[in-house]
Amino acid sequence: MSTRQVSDRNDPVIESRDQLVAPMIAGEKPRERWRIGTEHEKLVFDRADHHAPSYDEPGGIRDLLMALKDFGWSEVEEGGHVIALSGSDGAVSLEPAGQLELSGAPLDNLHQTCAETSRHLDQVKAIGARTGKGFLGLGMWPDKRREDLPIMPKGRYAIMLRHMPRVGTMGLDMMLRTCTIQVNLDYGSEADMVQKFRTSLALQPLATALFANSPFTEGKPNGFLSCRSHIWSDTDPARTGMLPFVFEDGFGYDRYVEYMLDVPMYFVFRDGKYIDAAGQSFRDFLKGQLPALPGEFPTETDWQDHMSTAFPEVRLKSFLEMRGADGGPWNRICALPALWVGLLYDQGALDAAWDLVKDWDMAGREALRSAVPKLGLDAPLPGGGTLRDIAAEVLAIARSGLNARARLNGAGDNESGFLAPLDEIVASGKVPAQRLLDKFNGEWGGDLSRVYEEEM
């Protein structure tokens, strides 16, 4: 989630509708400037007893952040606490219960993405060895209760933690117990954004299935392959889901602005502090009638903050963010951007992917999204068949897109090799969660602590 540092007193006040659409228009870039931004979270645990370390304890989350400064990262503070780091590889930040996230820099190709991921891996391994901490690549804590988990000292999280139980039953689980891999991608025009948004939103359940990796809750199987994905189904219906309007005639920037204006607010950031505006209306803010700040009007940065508080399966800001995948071990992190770059960054591949899904109706898309957390690749498609029936074809389309991009490394390899972990999943017919369940019921003998040794 976003980390604010300071309030800009010169930030323009919003006086026209054009300013609400402006961030999305500003995201338009020519193809040669399209970039790849990859975000991945991991669960931090103490190697001695597997507890989730608090912020302040010796060797805890604050000490991990401070140790990363040895690799050239710079501190980002909020309220006297170091809550993030910035550097040439993007930002290292904290999720609400101390999940450690790398929000990578915008990069030209997947070879650079994987080099960035490897650098981050080397760094956290080094500080983990120094502090006795490990890092777990799963979509959800396999054994922790909410009350077992610490809370990080970030103002927006305190507001969200208070608000979540008012609007859903699983919002606190989303904040405290889950991890994800996400990919941020560019578009060239409004029409290009629309085609990419529709295609990626329709196919997001396939990414959820291929990366499903959260089958345990509080020490036992939970009945899901991606419990992380299921948790989103009752987190906050006003800011989550499959966004049916994206598939309606006339969809574009202006319609997304209308959606965001209907999403209730969380906060306003002023003078280094988060002011609680949870449940209040940005439309009222535009009229100077926000209860949290009566008489004040929003700035352009307030709007950008607000755009970061919607959590649909695909999110639009000044780029498109793919949000469907569980967190996973290092060998799968590069596979998610490979999938989406292959599908969305070559026009031939994008057209072929859209042809696969364009005739699905909205009821079918919603049913697929609802089924995939439990069924994975066996989730039924609109019109018949299952995700398993199209998975290999989608990967083939992605591979064709990566081949067409022809971004080569020093050895002359293009980016298509990064799809290999997904090819293996489709060929085997087993998503990562099913492999974990096989181990749990087999070689682990029901001892879930083994996951800490094998899924890093």
| Confidence bin at 294 (pLDDT 50/70/90) | very high
Whether 2 has a pLDDT exceeding 60, the answer reads: no
Q: Which residues of 65-100 are buried (b: 16+ CB within 10 A; e: fewer)?
A: bebbeebebeebebeebbbbbbeebbbbbbbbbbbb
| Confidence bin at 10 (pLDDT 50/70/90) | confident
Q: Is residue 158 part of a domain?
A: yes
Domain that holds residue 385: 17-454
Q: For residue range 203-236, list pLDDT tens digits in order.
A: 999 999 999 999 999 999 999 999 999 999 999 9
Please give the pLDDT value at position 6. Answer: 53
Task: Indicate the range of 5-14, 69-78, 93-102, 423-432 predicted with least confidence.
Answer: 5-14
Please give the pLDDT value at position 455. Answer: 67
Tokens of 344: 């969305």
Paired strand residues for 76: 84
CA distance 105 to 22: 22
Q: Is residue 103 part of a domain?
A: yes
Q: For residue range 345-393, list pLDDT tens digits in order.
A: 999 999 999 999 999 999 999 999 999 999 999 999 998 999 999 999 9
Please give the pLDDT value at position 310. Answer: 98
Whether 305 has a pLDDT exceeding 70, the answer reads: yes
Whether 137 has a pLDDT exceeding 60, the answer reads: yes
Q: Is residue 236 part of a domain?
A: yes
| Confidence bin at 330 (pLDDT 50/70/90) | confident
Paired strand residues for 40: 102, 181
> What Å distances lie between residue 100 and 64, 126, 150, 178, 258, CA to CA?
10, 15, 13, 11, 33
Name residue, tokens 């096989």. Answer: 438
Cα 181 → chain centroid: 5
Whether 7 has a pLDDT exceeding 80, the answer reads: no
Task: Specify the pairing of strand 320-326 against strand 314-316.
Answer: antiparallel
Tokens of 176: 């405290």
Specify whether the CB–CB gap between 117 and 110 falls below 8 A: no
Whether 3 has a pLDDT exceeding 90, the answer reads: no
CA contacts within 13 A on the Cβ side of 17: 6
Whether 5 has a pLDDT exceeding 90, the answer reads: no
Name residue, tokens 């859903």. Answer: 168
CA distance 377 to 149: 32
Average pLDDT for the chain: 96
Residue 221, judged by CB atoms within 10 A of its CB (0-12, 13-18, 19+), counts as middle
The three-state DSSP-derived secondary structure of the chain is CCCCCCCCCCCCECCCHHHHHHHHHHCECCHHHCCEEEEEEEEEEECCCCCCCCCCCCCCHHHHHHHHHHHCCEEEEECCEEEEEEECCEEEEECCCCCEEEECCCECCHHHHHHHHHHHHHHHHHHHHHHCEEEECCCECCCCCHHHCCCCCCHHHHHHHHHHHHHCCCHHHHHHHECEEEEEECECCHHHHHHHHHHHHHHHHHHHHHCCCECEECCEECCCCEHHHHHHHHCCCCCEECCHHHHCCCCCHHHHHHHHHHCCCCEEEECCEEEECCCCCHHHHHCCCCCCCCCCCCEHHHHHHHHCCCEECEEECCCEEEEEEECCCHHHHCHHHHHHHHHHCCHHHHHHHHHHHCCCCHHHHHHHHHHHHHHHHHCECCCCCEHHHHHHHHHHHHHHHHHHHCCCCCCCCCHHHHHHHHHHHHHHCCCHHHHHHHHHHCCCCCCHHHHHHHCC
| Confidence bin at 4 (pLDDT 50/70/90) | low
Tokens of 92: 């290292």
CA contacts within 13 A on the Cβ side of 20: 19
Average the pLDDT over 15-26 and give the result. Answer: 98
Please give the pLDDT value at position 394. Answer: 98
Q: Is residue 273 part of a domain?
A: yes
**Long-range own/partner contacts, residues 8-11 (CB < 8 A, 24 or more apart):** 8/299, 8/301, 11/299, 11/300, 11/301, 11/302
Q: For residue range 156-194, list pLDDT tens digits in order.
A: 999 999 999 999 999 999 999 999 999 999 999 999 999
CATH code of the domain in which 318 resides? 3.30.590.20
Q: Is residue 214 part of a domain?
A: yes
Please give the pLDDT value at position 331. Answer: 82
What percentage of the chain carries pLDDT values higher than 70?
Answer: 98
Please give the pLDDT value at position 246. Answer: 98
Give the chain's domain count: 1
Whether 238 has a pLDDT exceeding 90, the answer reads: yes
CA distance 356 to 337: 20
> What Å distances lie between residue 186 and 23, 107, 210, 241, CA to CA?
13, 11, 23, 21
Q: Is residue 3 part of a domain?
A: no
CA distance 224 to 207: 15
Q: Is residue 5 part of a domain?
A: no
Average the pLDDT over 66-85 and give the result. Answer: 97
Question: Which amino acid is it at 84?
Answer: A
Specify whether the CB–CB gap between 99 and 144 falls below 8 A: no
Question: Which amino acid is it at 440?
Answer: F
Please give the pLDDT value at position 335. Answer: 98
| Confidence bin at 107 (pLDDT 50/70/90) | very high
Whether 89 has a pLDDT exceeding 70, the answer reads: yes
Cα 376 → chain centroid: 19
Q: Is residue 90 part of a domain?
A: yes
